[in-house]
Chain A
Amino acid sequence: MIRAGEHQVSDAGRLGELYRQHAPEAVRLAYLLTGDRALAEDLVQEAFVRLFGRFRDLRNPDAFPWYLRRTVVNLARSHFRHKRVERAYVASHGADPTTAAGPPDTGAREEMWQALLQLPERQRTAIVLRYYEDLSEAQTADAMQCPVGTVKSLVSRGMGRLRGLVTRDE
């Protein structure tokens, strides 16, 4: 019994340490993918539940951040696919100050943020992974579980739309 208790304590300690180390960055990524802080925290908690649930089965526990990133991307994608409310959600909550992180932007930057949130979620995911996470095209394809060519296409299309917005504004 004592051993089981000790095991549970060390288990909780180890998982707690992983959470402290990686949850903040995962929440930032989820926030950039979804545009909503509360949703981002929910997704990250779910990601940790899933990963902790099979932590001993992970082929390489040292690659935990990689598994976490991939799980967050999958969960965000799954969320939008199942709910089918991506645009409606952003439209109704995008300007809600309770969901925003930090002081509101003004002008062109806020416009670009709104445009980014309105991109199809796969385009946005590819852009966030390439430009925020600084992943290579191959790493992005791995995280999104799609061919490298698809990543190129998604980034190109998404950036094309953002450029169009900036050009029109000028």
Chain B
Amino acid sequence: MSDVDNDVRELLRQKADGLEGPSQMPRPVLRRARRRRALNGFVAATTAAAVIVGAFLGGQALLRPRAERGPAGSTTPTVTGSGLSEDGLSPAFAAIWPERNADELRAEQTRVKEHPDVDGYRLDPKETAVEFAHQVLNWDPTIIDATVKVPPGGAPNPPLEVELHFGTLIREEGLPPQAPYALSVTGAPLGNTGDLGIWSVTRVRSDLVDLTCGIGSPVATDGSIHVCGNTAWDPSLATAKTWATPGDAATTGLDPDEASPTLDLPMASDGTFEGELGPVPGGFGGSTVIVVEVLDQSGSPVGMAAQKIVIARSDSSSSPTP
């Protein structure tokens, strides 16, 4: 255990010990609790009645001939499961955050339905994108300006791009519009698409990180990925790094895990960077998330590109050992 671990432990203990807690329960607490209990009883009774009526109506609907029933509603789950898509070039389950496979999505969907007061942000693409920037890039949500860009055309439930600007409020206070700090987070409702359908992040781009060699092609097991691009951030102050994480399980968020290949990308004076990231371990499964991050002089991430790509298994690795 490091000194900092001990310092944090001691700091928390000291801060907590300096606080005297309440010894008597304030009267309003009990009154409010009793009112709440009565309300809970009413809600439970109403819900039970609604369930009974719903079950009755549902039973009636099931007894009707199939031909009389209409098409499935928009809340039908469309989760396709993890693995490869039919073309084998793109992952079947596109999300990179916070879940990476259909099972995690179903669990999250259930959790959000049970706790919409806590996880309500998952129901809104803009809030989900802001939360991504907050949790993954450490951006302060109070100074993120988010705009949803609706794609043209009338496709149902299309993926949406949410453009995030960091520090916009500060610029509005009169500072020059330098340092764009813009992040484009693509989100999609991959499971339920009704009012309680949650949004997942499927791709991240940034106007500070321009990847000039595409990283969308499948990579072979134990193969490497050529990562190159440039940054609009001052190259004398910026650093860049890239890593790959398992694409089918969100075990570490977007952070690298023990098996992740990672690479510090040397930054040229003109802001370009280039390197070979690999090898991509076979243990990652059917896909991997490639992350490229640009950090400022204090080590804070200012831009990120992240997307999931397919790991193409060679014949020798997929055939059983004799």
Which residues from chain A sit less than 8 Å from chain B, CB to CB?
12, 15-16, 19-20, 23-29, 31-32, 37, 41, 44-45, 48-50, 52-57, 74, 77-78, 81, 84-88, 101-103, 105, 109, 112-113, 116, 120, 122, 127-128, 131-132, 145, 147, 149-150, 152-154, 156-157, 159, 161-164, 166
Contact = CB atoms under 8 A, between A and B. Distances in A.
Given A24-B21, A120-B135, A152 B16 contact: no
A31 B4 contact: no
B15 interface: yes
B121 A81 contact: yes
15 contacts: A15-B30, A28-B19, A31-B19, A41-B22, A53-B34, A87-B143, A101-B15, A101-B19, A116-B8, A120-B134, A131-B5, A131-B8, A149-B252, A152-B252, A153-B252
Given A19-B25, A101-B19, A150-B98, A122 B142 contact: no
A86 B89 CA distance: 42
Of B23, B39, B104, the most chain A CB neighbours within 10 A belong to B23
A153 to B, nearest CB: 4
A122 B15 CA distance: 19
A128 to B, nearest CB: 6
**Secondary structure type dominating chain A contacts:** helix
A41 B4 CA distance: 29
Contact of A87 (B20, B142, B252): B142
A48 B29 contact: yes
A159 B5 contact: yes
B179 interface: no
Interface stretch (B111-119, B211-219, B236-244, B272-280): B111-119
Contact of A28 (B21, B25, B33): B21
B140 A87 contact: yes
A157 B21 contact: no
B8 A112 contact: yes
B57 interface: no
Of A147, A150, A156, the most chain B CB neighbours within 10 A belong to A147
